Amino acid sequence: MAGETTAVTHIGINNQSDIHHSAGLTQVIVIVLMTLLLLTWLFFHADYVSEQEHIHYSQLLHDLRKAEANVDGEVLANRIALSRNYDALVVQIDKLTTISHQIINPPVFLSEKDSVKLIRQVNKVQLTVKAKIHLIDLFKRNNAILQNSLNYFHESSNTILDIKKNTSIIPLVESYVRHLMFFVQFPDQDSINDLQKTEQQLTFFSTQQNNQPVIKNLLQHGRIIQKYRLKVADQLREFLFLPSAIQQEELIRVYSQGHANALKVAEQYRMLLYMVAFLLTLYLAYTFIDLERTRRSLARAHREVSTRYQAQKQAEGLLKLHDTAFNSAHEGITLTDTDGNIITVNPAFTRITGYQQEEVIGRNPRVLKSGRHDIDFYRAMWRSILDTGNWRGEIWNKNKYGEIYPELLSITAVHDSNGDVSNYVAVFSDISLIKEQEQQLKKMAYYDALTKLPNRSLLTDRIIQAILQTQRSDVFMAICYLDLDGFKPVNDTYGHELGDSLLIEMSNRLQECLRGGDTVARIGGDEFVILLVGMDKIEEYELAMRRLMKAITQEFLIRGNSVMLTASIGVTLYPYDDCDAGTLLRHADQAMYQAKQKGKNCYHLFDPEKDTLARSQHERILRIENALKADELILYYQPKVNMRTGSVTGMEALIRWQHPERGLLSPIEFLPFIEEHELIVQVGNWVIETALTQLEDWHSSGLDFQVSVNIASLQLQQPDFVEGLKSAFARHPDFDAGRLELEVLETAALEDIVNVSRVIEECHELGVSFALDDFGTGYSSLTYLKRLPASTLKIDRSFVRDMLHDPGNLAIVHSILGLATAFQRHTIAEGAETQEHCRLLMQLGCQTVQGYIIAKPMPADKVLVWVKSWQADPSWKAYQKLYWSDADYPIFAAEVEHQSWITVLVHSVNENLPMTHKRVSDEYVCRFGQWYYGVGQQRYKLLSSFAQIEAPHRLAHKLAEKIEYYCQNGDFKSARELLPELLMQRDGILILLKQLSMDVALKLE
Amino acid sequence: MASRKILFIIIVIVITVSVLLVYQKNQPSNELQVQSTVLSSIKPYNSEQIQPLPVEMILPVEKVDLGRRLFNETGLSKDNTISCSSCHLLNKAGTDRRPVSIGVNGAAGLLNSPTVFNSAFNFAQFWDGRAATLEEQASGPIHNPVEMGSNWQEILTRLRADDGYQTLFKKIYQDGISVDNIVDAIATFERSLITPNSRFDQYLRGNKIALTEDEQQGYQYFKDYGCISCHQGINIGANMFQRFGVFDGYFNNKTISQSDLGRFNVTGIEEDRYVFKVPSLRNVAVTAPYFHDGSVSTLENAVMIMGRYQLGRELSEEDIRLLTAFLQSLTGQWQGKLLQ
Q: Are residues B81 and B121 in the same domain?
A: yes
Determine the residue of chain A that is closest to B245 in CA distance: A145
Strands B275-277 and B241-243, how do they pair? antiparallel
Q: How many residues does chain B have?
A: 340
Angle at B185 between CA B181 and CA B190, to 5 degrees: 145
Of A22, A90, A220, which has the smallest distance from its Cβ to B123's Cβ?
A90
Res A829: pLDDT: 92
B21 part of a folded domain: yes
Least confident of A251-260, A874-883, B184-193: A874-883
Q: How confident is the model at residue A10 (pLDDT cuts 50, 70, 90)?
A: low
Instruction: Express each pLDDT in A611-669 by its tens digit.
Output: 655 556 677 788 888 888 888 899 999 999 998 888 888 899 999 988 888 888 888 88
Q: Are residues A816 and A908 in the same domain?
A: no
Q: Are residues A394 and A505 in the same domain?
A: no
Q: Are A145 and A172 in contact (CB under 8 A)?
A: no
**For chain B, how many helices (H) and strands (E)?**
13, 4
Q: With contacts defined as CB-CB under 8 Å, which chain A residues touch B247?
A: 220, 224
Distance CA A703, CA A688 (A): 18
Contact A53 B28 (CB under 8 A): yes
The total domain count for chain A is: 5
Distance CA A776, CA A785 (A): 11
Distance CA B34, CA B328 (A): 36
A256 part of a folded domain: no
B87 part of a folded domain: yes
SS3 B66: helix
Q: Are residues B132 and B220 in the same domain?
A: no
Residue B105 backbone zone (phi > 0: left; psi -120 to 50: alpha; other: beta)? left
Determine the residue of chain A that is closest to B129 in CA distance: A137
**For chain A, how many helices (H) and strands (E)?**
36, 24
Q: Are residues B141 and B272 in the same domain?
A: no
Residue B51 sits at the chain A interface (C-beta within 8 Å)? yes
Res A921: pLDDT: 60
B166-173 long-range contacts (CB < 8 A, ≥24 apart) are B168/B62, B168/B66, B168/B69, B169/B66, B171/B62, B172/B60, B172/B62, B172/B63, B172/B66
Q: Are residues A855 and A963 in the same domain?
A: no
Average pLDDT of span A414-431: 89
Residue A56 sits at the chain B interface (C-beta within 8 Å)? yes
Q: Are residues B224 and B327 in the same domain?
A: yes
Residues ≥6 apart with Cβ < 8 Å to A538: none
Q: Are residues A486 and A432 in the same domain?
A: no
A274 part of a folded domain: no
Q: What is the CATH number of the domain that holds A376?
A: 3.30.450.20
Q: Is the model's pLDDT at A321 over the cut of 70?
A: yes
Domain that holds residue A488: 447-606
Res A652: pLDDT: 92
Per DSSP, what are the bridge partners of residue A772? A744, A793
Identify which of A595-599, B245-249, B296-300, B308-312 has the greatest average pLDDT.
B296-300
Q: Is the model's pLDDT at A917 over the cut of 70?
A: no
Q: Is the model's pLDDT at A963 over the cut of 90?
A: no
Q: What is the CATH number of the domain that holds A773?
A: 3.20.20.450
Q: With contacts defined as CB-CB under 8 Å, which chain A residues touch B235?
A: 87
CB atoms within 10 A of CB A373: 15
CB atoms within 10 A of CB A995: 16
Q: Are residues B78 and B171 in the same domain?
A: yes
The DSSP 8-state label assigned to residue A426 in this structure reads E
Q: With contacts defined as CB-CB under 8 Å, which chain B residues touch A7?
A: 11, 15
Q: Are residues A749 and A676 in the same domain?
A: yes
Res A418: pLDDT: 87
Q: Are residues A109 and A231 in the same domain?
A: yes
Contact B46 A56 (CB under 8 A): no
* Nearest C-alpha neighbor of A396 from the set A353, A343, A438: A353
Q: With contacts defined as CB-CB under 8 Å, which chain B residues touch A74?
A: 44-45
Residue A28 sits at the chain B interface (C-beta within 8 Å)? yes
Contact B247 A4 (CB under 8 A): no
Res B62: pLDDT: 87
Residue B311 sits at the chain A interface (C-beta within 8 Å)? yes
Distance CA A444, CA A431 (A): 19
Of B191, B225, B240, which residue constitutes the final position of a domain? B191
* Nearest C-alpha neighbor of A640 from the set A855, A350, A833: A855
Instruction: Express each pLDDT in A973-1002 by its tens digit.
Output: 887 888 888 888 888 888 888 888 888 888
B47 part of a folded domain: no
Q: Is the model's pLDDT at B322 over the cut of 90?
A: yes
More confident residue, A748 or A82: A82
Q: Are B339 and B332 in contact (CB under 8 A)?
A: yes
The DSSP 8-state label assigned to residue A567 in this structure reads E
Residue A79 sits at the chain B interface (C-beta within 8 Å)? no
Of B42, B226, B271, which has the smallest distance from its Cβ to A87's Cβ?
B42
Q: With contacts defined as CB-CB under 8 Å, which chain A residues touch B15?
A: 1, 3-4, 7, 36
Contact A145 B33 (CB under 8 A): no
Q: Could you give the C-alpha distances from A329 to A240, A325, A343, in angstroms and in order?
A: 126, 5, 17
Residues ≥6 apart with Cβ < 8 Å to A106: A57, A114, A115, A118, A119, A122, A255, A258
The total domain count for chain B is: 3
Domain that holds residue B180: 61-191
Q: With contacts defined as CB-CB under 8 Å, which chain B residues touch A36?
A: 11, 14-15, 18
Q: Are residues B152 and B258 in the same domain?
A: no
Instruction: Express each pLDDT in B58-101 by its tens digit.
Output: 888 888 888 898 888 888 888 888 888 888 888 888 888 888 88
- What mean pLDDT value characterizes chain B? 84
Distance CA B162, CA B220 (A): 54
Res A738: pLDDT: 85
Q: Residues of A numbered 148-167 whose beta carbons fall under 8 angstroms of chain B's beta carbons: which are they? A: 148-149, 151-152, 155
Res A779: pLDDT: 63
Of B10, B11, B28, which has the smallest distance from its Cβ to A56's Cβ?
B28
SS3 A288: helix
B51 part of a folded domain: no
Residue B238 sits at the chain A interface (C-beta within 8 Å)? no
Determine the residue of chain B that is closest to A53 in CA distance: B28
A248 part of a folded domain: no
For residue B163, how far is the Cα from the chain centroid?
Answer: 30
Q: Could you give the C-alpha distances from A859 to A238, A652, A696, A700, B277, in angstroms and in order?
A: 194, 11, 16, 18, 194
A49 part of a folded domain: no
A1 part of a folded domain: no
Preferred mutation among A55, A61, A87 to probe B, highest tally of B CBs within 10 A: A87
Distance CA A235, CA A241 (A): 10
Contact B239 A87 (CB under 8 A): yes
Contact A25 B3 (CB under 8 A): yes
Q: What backbone phi and psi angles, to 5 degrees, belong to B183?
A: -70, -35
Q: Are residues B209 and B315 in the same domain?
A: yes
Contact B240 A92 (CB under 8 A): no
Contact A3 B4 (CB under 8 A): no
Q: Are B109 and B102 in contact (CB under 8 A)?
A: yes
Instruction: Express each pLDDT in A478-507 by its tens digit.
Output: 999 988 888 888 888 888 888 888 888 888
Distance CA A786, CA A819 (A): 10
Q: Are residues B170 and B241 in the same domain?
A: no
Average pLDDT of span A709-737: 85
Preferred mutation among B3, B53, B231 to probe A, highest tally of A CBs within 10 A: B3
Q: Are residues B134 and B155 in the same domain?
A: yes
- Give the N- to C-terminal CA distance of chain A in Å, as an integer: 131
Q: Are residues A599 and A663 in the same domain?
A: no
Q: How confident is the model at residue A339 (pLDDT cuts 50, 70, 90)?
A: confident
Q: Are residues A651 and A589 in the same domain?
A: no
Of A407, A437, A467, which residue constitutes the final position of a domain? A437
Q: Are A381 and A411 in contact (CB under 8 A)?
A: yes
ipTM, interface predicted TM-score of the complex: 0.84
Average pLDDT of span A158-175: 74
B56 part of a folded domain: no
Shortest Cα–Cα distance, A293 to chain B (Å) = 22
Q: Are residues B226 and B167 in the same domain?
A: no
Q: Which of B73, B135, B147, B190 is catalytic?
A: B147
Distance CA B138, CA A374 (A): 135
Determine the residue of chain B that is closest to A2 in CA distance: B15
Element (H, E) at A569: strand A566-574
Q: How confident is the model at residue A165 (pLDDT cuts 50, 70, 90)?
A: low
Contact A36 B15 (CB under 8 A): yes
Active site residue B317: no
Residues ≥6 apart with Cβ < 8 Å to A276: A2, A38, A39, A42
Q: What is the CATH number of the domain that holds A937?
A: 1.20.120.30
Of A188, A207, A242, which residue constitutes the final position of a domain? A242
Instruction: Express each pLDDT in A48-73 by its tens digit.
Output: 777 888 888 888 888 888 888 888 88
Preferred mutation among A8, A31, A49, A85 to probe B, highest tally of B CBs within 10 A: A85
Residue B151 sits at the chain A interface (C-beta within 8 Å)? no
Shortest Cα–Cα distance, A249 to chain B (Å) = 23
Q: Are residues A748 and A665 in the same domain?
A: yes
A811 part of a folded domain: yes
CB atoms within 10 A of CB A501: 15
A29 part of a folded domain: no
List b or e across A585-603, with b for residues whose CB sees 16 or more CB atoms inside 10 angstroms.
Answer: bbbbbbbbbbbbeeeebbb
Average pLDDT of span A551-572: 83
Q: Are residues A858 and A921 in the same domain?
A: no
Q: Are A354 and A401 in contact (CB under 8 A)?
A: yes
Q: Is the model's pLDDT at A18 over the cut of 70?
A: no
Average pLDDT of span A504-518: 86
DSSP 3-state percent helix, strand, coil across chain B (nearest 5): 45, 5, 45
Q: Are residues B240 and B122 in the same domain?
A: no
- What mean pLDDT value characterizes chain A? 84
Q: Is the model's pLDDT at A6 over the cut of 60?
A: no
Contact A53 B21 (CB under 8 A): no
Q: Residues of B numbered 118-147 whose beta carbons fall under 8 angstroms of chain A's beta carbons: which are they? A: 123, 132
Residue A221 sits at the chain B interface (C-beta within 8 Å)? yes
Res B27: pLDDT: 46
Per DSSP, what are the bridge partners of residue A641? A648, A849
Q: With contacts defined as CB-CB under 8 Å, which chain B residues touch A136?
A: none
Q: Are A708 and A738 in contact (CB under 8 A)?
A: no
Q: What is the CATH number of the domain that holds A459?
A: 3.30.70.270
Distance CA B128, CA B285 (A): 22
Q: Are B182 and B66 in contact (CB under 8 A)?
A: no
Of A562, A591, A606, which residue constitutes the final position of a domain? A606
SS3 A521: strand
Distance CA A984, CA A979 (A): 8
Of B163, B191, B219, which residue constitutes the final position of a domain? B191
Task: Fill in the amino acid letter for B188.
Answer: T
Q: How confident is the model at residue A44 (pLDDT cuts 50, 70, 90)?
A: confident
Q: Are residues A920 and A986 in the same domain?
A: yes
Q: Are residues B9 and B71 in the same domain?
A: no
Shortest Cα–Cα distance, A164 to chain B (Å) = 20
Distance CA B34, CA A257 (A): 30
More confident residue, A752 or A420: A420
Q: Is the model's pLDDT at B180 over the cut of 50?
A: yes
Of B191, B219, B240, which residue constitutes the final position of a domain? B191
Res A923: pLDDT: 65
B54 part of a folded domain: no
Res B320: pLDDT: 92
Shortest Cα–Cα distance, B15 to chain A (Å) = 7
SS3 A582: helix
Q: Are A83 and A74 in contact (CB under 8 A)?
A: yes
Q: What is the CATH number of the domain that holds B76?
A: 1.10.760.10
Residues ≥6 apart with Cβ < 8 Å to B213: none
Residue A30 sits at the chain B interface (C-beta within 8 Å)? no
Task: Fill in the amino acid letter for A760.
Answer: I
CB atoms within 10 A of CB B338: 15
A2 part of a folded domain: no
Q: Residues of A numbered 120-139 whose beta carbons fall under 8 angstroms of chain B's beta carbons: which are they? A: 134, 137-138
Task: Fill in the amino acid letter for B198.
Answer: S
SS3 B119: helix
Sign of dihedral through CA atoms A572, A573, A575, A577?
negative
Q: Are residues A70 and A109 in the same domain?
A: yes
Residue A145 sits at the chain B interface (C-beta within 8 Å)? yes
Q: With contacts defined as CB-CB under 8 Å, which chain B residues touch A28?
A: 7
